[in-house]
Amino acid sequence: MSEEGGIHGAIYPHNEQYMDNLVQGTTENFKDLVAVQDRLVVVDFYAEWCGPCAAIAPIMDELAKKYVNITIVKVDVDKNGDIVRQAPYNIRSIPQLFFIKDGEVKDKLTGVQSLDSISAVIDPLC
């Protein structure tokens, strides 16, 4: 997914290869990506212009490597306004992470977070 505006765009310039559990969420595929699955889904709402979002991008890469049994869905808020405005998300600040299991939001974090603080939310949910 290295096309313009994809995961390897400005927000992920450091990715050397695509990870199967790190996907771009869009209005078209979002419902399927967060539907009831046998794994935890972490949704990262971000924007290309957002400095804190760029700061958390390498941490999301590390999470994708560390937790191969979860799915990380990146959603660009500027390109996917319908998702951003719908409940239970109602995004007002970014970056914002939602932790979804069994089709339900279990937790959320707002702002730049460390690998350890995000892992502390993921570990009990896995």
Element (H, E) at 71: strand 71-76
Q: Are 42 and 71 in contact (CB under 8 A)?
A: yes
User: Cα 58 vs. chain centroid, distance in angstroms?
Assistant: 12
Give the pLDDT of residue 63.
94
Our separate counts of H helices and E strands in the chain read: 4, 5
User: CA-CA distance, 100 to 126, in Å (whole number)?
Assistant: 11
19, pLDDT greater than 80: no
Alpha-carbon distance 24 to 38, whole Å? 19
* In the chain, domain spans: 22-125
Give the active site residue among 22, 23, 43, 50.
Answer: 50
Is the model's pTM score more than 0.85?
no
Among this protein's residues, is 126 annotated catalytic? no
Identify the band that residue 17 occupies on the pLDDT scale cut at 50, 70 and 90.
very low
Catalytic residue chosen out of the listed positions 53, 54, 75, 100: 53
Q: What is the largest CA-CA distance in the chain?
A: 36
3 state DSSP class of 108: strand
Q: What's the CATH code, domain 22-125?
A: 3.40.30.10
pLDDT tens digits along 60-102: 999 999 999 999 999 999 999 889 888 788 899 999 999 999 9
User: Which residues, 6+ apart, have CB-to-CB distance to 83 below 8 Å?
Assistant: 25, 27, 30, 75, 89
